[in-house]
Amino acid sequence: MIIEKIQATVSESLNKLYNIQVAPDSIVLQKTKKEFNGDYTVVVFPYVKQARKSPEMVANELGSAVCSALPELTGYNVIKGFLNFSVSDSYYLSFTAQICGDSRYGLKPVNSSDAPVVVEYSSPNTNKPLHLGHIRNNLLGWSVSQLLTANGRNVKKVNLVNDRGIHICKSMLAWMRFGNGETPESSGMKGDHLVGKYYVEFDKHYKAEVKELIDKGVEEEQAKKEAPLMVEAQQMLKRWEEGDKEIRDLWQKMNGWVYAGFDETYRKMGVGFDKIYYESNTYLLGKELVQKGLDLGVLFRKEDGSVWCDLTDAGLDQKLLLRKDGTSVYMTQDLGTALLRHNDFGADQLIYVVGNEQDYHFQVLKIILGRLGFDWADKVYHLSYGMVELPNGKMKSREGTVVDADDLIEEMEKTAEEMCRDRGKNDDMTSDELKELYHILALGALKYFILKVDPTKTMLFNPAESIDFNGNTGPFIQYTHARIRSIVRKALGEKGLDLSMSFGSIQINDKERDVIKMLHEMPSVVEQAAAAYSPAMIANYTYELAKTFNSFYQDTPILREPDTNRMLFLVQLCNAVSVAIKNMMWILGIEVPERM
């Protein structure tokens, strides 16, 4: 790639001209600003002091040396301390021909023997269906995994299902009290929706009990602890940890309903996992680690029997690891899961895709793992992301004020169908093909709208904005891809072109060059996005590529070009853009239709 060649030659020339030693990858190469002539710019100010010459003189001497060494460059110009290089048309033409037939352009090969990067995402509770917040988590986790894979990393996608704990007992207890034997089959509800219904039901009755106690003069905090439903739920959790058969049987039955529902939602979203862990299988290992911590003296037991870690020397507080009744907390099972996962995979890195409300939790997890003597504790990375909010505020599962994932996907499919019908361009597609198209567009709109936002930022979700065929949306990019594939099909069929043929020497104009330069950037964008764990960089690059292509397309009668060689070049350029869009959208977990 020309970028690496320029960096290497600038590095070599600095050494020869001024005895300045700079590693090639430390040479910062920027895109030349549109108001200046050139393609790539080197800022020479960092080298002026050692060279003992003016910025203009250093830039001119360096520019002359680099252009003499690289035939791919046609010249340079200097604006004060900014050295702008121009790349030859022959290089861009050769580059276009090279990538036209490369179906994996921009994606690095993966060495499966490398130590894997383990990415955990989803991590649902089995007391409710997946909602909009889970959607961002799943889409971000899947896309980051794809992004790291595209950068050559060996990635393992895992899920930790939080299938035990007080929240699970709340749903179970409410079903026992108020369910009258209701099942997914008898109700016609998905299993996860049915269990979620009883989680809301628990909260409703629990609040009524708390209010009744407060009305009798009990302090609010005390009332929350003494409400009969909460006391019974706590007792149920203790019975579960003691292996009570009745409680365990009910737990397995209701969790089974939820897993069937989750699997259906994951399939709709187009996400999956290489391995699924269950908290019910990992918390005991966590308890063993707590005992190890007590033996090592890095944990301590209070008079009431609870176990804690004193983190005040790290600027934090004391962290509970076991309650006084011996039951575990989230941190307990996360310790066990981290060890199990490291042992299972020999992981090079453990990435947790979890919302930013858990920043403290993962800070503590790393510290405790380190104090327990695990030298891989520093390989734990919390990919912290912002919450998803709605125009009317935050969602609350226990109050039933959530945007359900299944309902949202179904609603977006309906919107996609309405918009396609309004456009009236799909009359030649069968009903099954149309149904698949609506699903692809709906998921493309949803995924792109969520992933184009920097993961660290809280985002406001607006379904109507997400599915527009114009602007920075998934459907706009999907439509651009379908348009390009139509051009290529016609070129191969009606015009009889062979994309493997050479188009020879031709002239290219500014808009064609702009498209090629965008394609040229793609591998470095993938590298930078992977380093930042940011699918947003992929999304926004792909939008800019689609925009740049459409600007070129509006001015270029591709299939009416009279010169066969030039038409072949234009169609090869179109094909390369479609491959780039497809590969970048693959990173985002988005399908691109061949026609629409």
CA separation for the pair 36, 509 (Å, rounded): 17
Q: Write down the pLDDT at residue 596.
A: 85
* Domain positions in the chain: 2-87, 121-399, 416-587
Give the contacts of 110 (CB within 8 A, at least 6 positions apart). Answer: 149, 152, 153, 154, 155
What is the rounded CA–CA span in Å between residue 71 and residue 49? 29
The topology under which CATH files domain 2-87 is Gyrase A; domain 2 (3.30.1360)
pLDDT for res 401: 53
Q: What is the pLDDT of residue 397?
A: 43
Query: Which residue ranges in the chain fall short of pLDDT 70?
Result: 391-402, 425
Which residues 6+ apart lie within 8 Å of 130 measured at CB?
124, 138, 192, 262, 265, 404, 405, 406
Give the pLDDT score at 536: 97
Buried b (16+ CB within 10 A) or exposed e, 11-50: bebbeebbebebeeeebebeebeeeeebbbbbbbeebbee
pLDDT at 325: 84
Q: Are 488 and 100 in contact (CB under 8 A)?
A: no
| Residue 399, pLDDT score | 46
What's 416-587's CATH class? mainly alpha
Same fold, 121-399 and 416-587: no
Q: What is the DSSP string of 532-552?
A: HT-HHHHHHHHHHHHHHHHHH
Q: What is the pLDDT of residue 402?
A: 67
**Domain covering 121-399 in this structure, CATH number:** 3.40.50.620
